[in-house]
Amino acid sequence: MSTEDTTSDGARARTSRRGRIRVTGFDSAAVRDRETFSADRTGISGAAANRRTKAWNRFKQNRSAIIGLAILAFMVFIAVFARPIQVSLLGEGFVIQPFQLAPHNTDTNLVAGNQPPSAEHPFGTSDLGRDIMSQVMVGARFSLAIGVIAVGLAVGIGVPLGAIAGYYGGWVDEAVMRLVDILYAFPFLVLAIVIIAILGQGFWNMIAALVIVGWIGYARLIRGEILSVKENEYVMAAKALGARDRSIIFRHIVPNAIAPVIVQATLAVGTIVLAAAALGFLGLGLQPGTPEWGTILSEGREAVIRGYWWVTTFPGLAIVVFVLAVNLVGDGIRDALDPQDEVGEQEGGFR
């Protein structure tokens, strides 16, 4: 606003007529030095809660996420207590979980097959005469285990690979990312099917197939995040202090880039369970007769055409509820970690 630099153009310099202005006596030090006024002495607390607590508080307020979490807890409970769990150690069997919530045994045929729901068999029976409710309850074990293990391993492979690719760049990056690009050319399920075709069926082969397909997503995600935090000050500082690369990556970079991975991994548990169920349905999952949700459904088409709706309905519903719950929790975590669009959650008002 100094006036001398606007004098070239009289029309613009409305205040140039009376010369230069100088203000004295506005002593900002007076504010810092004086005593606090009585009215201001209270309530200047409010130490900022740390990030994790804040995220948790936001999560707690998200009703649908809490509902999802409750459903998941319930399903884990069922999975654990559906049937006793035995481990064998040195040739002897130990029962580590003696409870049995499932009303019937799942691996022996009980009664005539294809019975509609009744008091004895609330979800009906399968064509082999097995109690579907018991199968669904025990099946939770397989589906949950597959989901958690496959996602865990995929994250365990994808994050380090992506982190290394992003941090070092150069040919390491090229090699990893080209592999990612090539694998991306195959749809998720098709690739998994092919891998199972090569490896053969079975629990661990299925996990292997899902992991080989699943890691690429995390590698891509973490690489992108790392590229964006790599130049941050704290990374530079760590480098300048002579920290080793490995410690820079895993101490400084990954923790800061991990939020989207957590969200992605949570949602992926749902996707993986769906994929596993599809493989089971196609007859490429676990051994036939295993009470895994998808595998129970593999005879679904025949059953449905003959009118035995309960054979498919209940195992399918179990999948829907589980995946829905996972998605609710995943969305909740995302909103909690990244609260950018919380403004404007009231009624929309766009004219």
Partner 1 sequence: MSLRQYVTKRLLLTVPILLGVTVITFLMTHLQPGDPVDVLIPLGANPSEEAIRQLRRQYHLNEPLYVQYFLWLKDAMVFDFGVSIQRDSLVSEAILTRLPYTLLLGVFALFIAVAIGVPAGIIAAVRKGDKVDEVSRIAALLGIATPNFWLGLILIFIFGVQLGWISTIPPSDVSVLDPALLTYMILPAVTLGTASSALLMRIMRSSMIEELNKEYVRMARAKGLAARTVIVKHVARNSLISVVTVAALQIAFIVDGAVVIEQVFSMRGVGRLILQAILQRDFPIIQAGVLMIGVVIVFANLAADIIYSFLDPRIRY
Partner 2 sequence: MSLLEVDDLRTRFYTEEGVVKAVDGLSYRIDDGEKFGIVGESGAGKSVASASLMRLIDSPGRIVGGSIRFTKPETAETFASAFPDHVVDVEELRADHDPVDLVDRLLTSGLSPADIAPDAGLSQGATASSIVAETGLTVRDLVDSRHAADVGLVDENDFVVRDGNDRYIEVTRATDQALRRLRGGHISMIFQDPQTALNPVYTVGEQISEAIRTHLDLSESAVKERAIEILGQVGIPDPAERYSDYPHEFSGGMQQRAVIAIALSCDPDLVIADEPTTALDVTIEAQILDLLDDLTTGREMAIQLITHDLGVVAEVCDRVAVMYAGKPVEVAPVEELYYDPKHPYTVGLMSSIPRIGDDRPRLDTIPGTMPDLVETPPGCSFHPRCPYAEEACTRKEPPLVDTGTGEAYDPDALEGHTASCLAYTGDLAGRLGFDVRVTEESDAAVTGEENE
Is residue 194 near partner 1 by the rule CB under 8 A?
Answer: yes
Q: What is the smallest separation between the CB atom of 161 and partner 1, expressed in angstroms?
A: 17
Q: What is the smallest separation between the CB atom of 218 and partner 1, expressed in angstroms?
A: 16
Site residue total, partner 1 (CB under 8 A): 55
* Residue 39 binding target from partner 1, partner 2, none, CB below 5 to 8 Å by type: partner 2
For the chain, how big is the Rg over CA atoms in Å?
30
* Dist CA 218 CA 351 (whole Å): 41
Return the residues of window 247-286 that contact partner 1 according to CB under 8 A: 270, 274, 277-278, 281-284
Give the three-state DSSP class for 88: strand
Is residue 71 near partner 2 by the rule CB under 8 A?
Answer: no
Return the residues of window 293-322 that contact partner 1 according to CB under 8 A: 294, 297, 300-301, 304-305, 307, 309, 312-313, 316, 319-322
The residue among 15 and 247 lying less far from partner 2, judged by its C-beta, is: 15
In terms of Cβ atoms closer than 10 Å to its own Cβ (0-12, 13-18, 19+), residue 187 is: exposed
How far out from the chain centre does Cα 116 lie?
37
Residues 6+ apart with CB under 8 A from 122: 133
The residue among 62 and 235 lying less far from partner 1, judged by its C-beta, is: 62
Is residue 32 near partner 2 by the rule CB under 8 A?
Answer: yes
* Dist CA 300 CA 313 (whole Å): 9
* Residue 304 binding target from partner 1, partner 2, none, CB below 5 to 8 Å by type: partner 1
The residue among 15 and 228 lying less far from partner 1, judged by its C-beta, is: 228
* Dist CA 341 CA 350 (whole Å): 16
Residue 254's alpha-carbon distances to 125, 211, 285, in angstroms, are 49, 21, 34
**Residues binding partner 2 (CB under 8 A):** 1-6, 9, 11-15, 17-32, 34, 37-40, 342-351
